Amino acid sequence: MNKTSVAEDFDSLFIDHPFFQIKEQIELAVMTSSTFSLAIEKLVKEEKMDYLDATCRLCEKFEIEYASIPRLLTSDMKDKIELAATERKYRLGK
């Protein structure tokens, strides 16, 4: 058995451990409006997406219901998302 297969076997033993399966749920549980808003900002800057798309991506990743979003946003982020929604509405000609 070579080192690579030993490492892969080791990883496969622990990747299914319940702790690793709930890691993202733990992150969500301690997420505040500041950390969620910072995560949105990071996606906007690094992935070159708008605030609406970044918010939706995080909701999908953490399985957050859209109705829960307002409590996870700072007031500044709410303003940015509202502006992005308005701009998108005008781009789509509605």
CA 8 to chain CA centroid, Å, is 28
**pLDDT per position as a tens digit, 71-80:** 889 999 999 9
**pLDDT per position as a tens digit, 7-57:** 454 445 455 555 555 555 555 556 788 888 999 999 999 999 999 999 999
Q: Cα–Cα distance between 43 and 61 in angstroms, integer?
A: 12
